[in-house]
Amino acid sequence: MFTEAVMDRDLEGEVMVTATGCVGLCEKGPIVMIYPQQVWYGEVTEDDIDDILDALEEGTVVDRLSI
């Protein structure tokens, strides 16, 4: 889902989507990590993808998801 949303926004050259296993916060998963900004989002759903990408493009944070 994230990969498709990144492609829809023509962000492939700026954003890389990588799948990983648990990063120590499994109870908060699924987790999205934004680097190099060091922003972590927890309990992310498909409905949150646009909000996360909007925030990334605007240089802001989605506070309700932030962990």
Entry pTM: 0.89
Give pLDDT, residue 26. Answer: 87
Phi-psi region of 10 (alpha: psi -120 to 50; beta: other; left: phi over 0): left
pLDDT at position 24, please? 84
Name all domains of the chain by residue range, CATH numbers in brackets: 2-65 (3.40.30.10)
Q: What is the pLDDT of residues 26-66, one digit of tens each?
A: 899 999 999 989 999 999 999 999 999 999 999 999 999 99
**3-class DSSP assignment, residue 30:** coil
Q: Which pLDDT score is estimated for 20? A: 87
- Nearest CA to 43 among 65, 21, 16, 11? 65
Tens of pLDDT, residues 24-37: 888 999 999 999 89
Which of 26, 25, 7, 27 has its CA nearest to residue 17? 7
Token digits of residue 18: 């990588």
